Amino acid sequence: MKKLLNTLYVTSPDARLSLDGENIVVYKDEAQVGRFPLHNLESIVVFGYMGASPALMGACVSRNIALCFLTPYGKFLARVVGTEYGNVILRKTQYARSESEEKSTEIARSFLFGKLYNSRWVIERAIRDYPMRLDVERLSKASSFLKNSTSDILQTSNLEQLRGVEGEAASVYFGVFDELILQQKEEFHFDIRNRRPPLDNVNALLSFAYTLLTGQCAAALTSVGLDSYVGFLHRDRPGRVSLALDLMEELRSVYADRFVLSVINKKIITSDGFEKRENGSVIITENARKAILNAWQNKKQETITHPYLQEKLEWGLVPYVQAMLLARYLRGDLDAYPPFIWK
């Protein structure tokens, strides 16, 4: 369990929620493991199937406390809210800002600032940790380019400029990505980012990790009352969770890319976990997917200190915190959206 700002996150899959007076009580194996006053909460996010008592759901509805249920893996299940809950106003604000090029650029700029900053951090971290095994000069040049691109992001005035700066920076970042693969180099080499379909083992892993992260971001946005299909950087397209793709930009390198590097360098996955089709596409086998999902769950449970809140939390909660901060910004509670800046 973790309370961040006015949201309570219950991450134990076998936890059951009940009501006792004006308090929410959390039980695990019939033993009470937590108690929180309802008047301090704005929302409750539960990762598990045990559920909540009807009395607690009724109390949450009457007090305008959003109660959101997700699977232990973070897939959205349901959300219980009262009839007077302010999500209509929040979503109308989201839609209005999405229609405005100026407002969309302002928010998208924050997403991409976080992305480029974190991409540079991944490179700098590798230089620091493995200076004798890497082409430090090549990586330093890429880092310098990303540093300049991060500054350029702040000078952009429209979405087209933003995408131009981000596209060049992404090309430079992926241009040195192969340097960060330290083990199994013959089986896992990276030349260029490709997808739909991925044409090599590394791209297959990246696509899979991005899919997992997108799902987390979509569930997180829904849990705070935002529409995951209406974005600011990624524009509307039927069936595309555009805002989830926006939110994941700042988390790609430090969350998904580092995860992919970890499963390769730690040999959690080997070349036996991939199959090549006649059209050249590479797919991950069922057994390999299970191993990757297990490692992903372990990754989500690692504890970090959130750079903005300065609170300890699990990696798996980061998308939910960022979604909450985005909702607060759109409501006017924050002057600007604070992207996840890893240090």
Q: pLDDT in tens for each of the 343 residues of the chain?
A: 666 667 788 878 888 899 988 899 999 888 888 888 888 787 788 888 888 899 988 888 887 787 888 777 667 777 776 654 557 889 999 999 999 999 999 999 999 999 999 999 999 999 999 988 999 999 999 999 999 999 999 999 999 999 999 999 999 999 999 999 999 988 999 988 888 888 999 999 999 899 889 988 998 898 888 999 999 999 888 878 999 999 999 999 999 999 999 999 999 999 999 988 888 888 888 888 889 988 998 998 899 999 999 999 999 899 999 999 999 999 999 999 999 998 7
Kindly report each contact of residues 124-133 with a partner whose C-beta sits within 8 Å and lies 24 or more positions away, as own/partner: 126/179, 126/180, 130/182, 133/182
Taking phi first (over 0 means left), then psi (-120 to 50 degrees means alpha), and beta for anything else, what does residue 25 get? beta
Q: Report the relative pairing of strands 23-28 and 31-37 from DSSP bridges.
A: antiparallel
Nearest to 216 by CA among 73, 18, 33, 116: 73
Q: Report the relative pairing of strands 7-10 and 43-47 from DSSP bridges.
A: parallel
Reading the block at residue 180, the tokens are 């960060």
- 29: buried, middle or exposed (CB in 10 Å: 19+, 13-18, 0-12)? exposed
Q: State residue 128's pLDDT score.
A: 93
Look at residue 285 and give its three-state secondary structure: coil
- Is residue 319 within 8 Å of residue 251, measured between CB atoms? yes
Q: State how far Cα 201 lies from the chain centre.
A: 23
Q: State residue 86's pLDDT score.
A: 55
Backbone angles phi, psi at 8, to 5 degrees: -105, 125
Q: Provide the 10 A C-beta neighbour count for residue 38.
A: 18
Strand stretches in the chain, DSSP E:
2-4, 7-10, 15-20, 23-28, 31-37, 43-47, 66-70, 76-80, 274-276, 282-284, 303-305, 312-314
- Is residue 341 within 8 Å of residue 117, measured between CB atoms? yes
Q: Any alpha helices (H) in 75-200, and if so which ranges?
A: 87-99, 101-129, 136-153, 159-175
Nearest to 76 by CA among 229, 223, 239, 210: 223
Q: State residue 222's pLDDT score.
A: 87
End-to-end CA distance of the chain: 25
Amino acid at 44: I
- Is residue 303 within 8 Å of residue 312, measured between CB atoms? yes
Task: Find the radius of gyration of the CA atoms of the chain.
Answer: 21
Reading the block at residue 118, the tokens are 């974190």
C-alpha separations of 152 from 105, 161, 321 in Å: 14, 10, 27
User: Which residues pair with residue 67 across a beta bridge?
Assistant: 44, 80
Backbone angles phi, psi at 66, to 5 degrees: -70, 135
Amino acid at 3: K
Q: State residue 5's pLDDT score.
A: 66
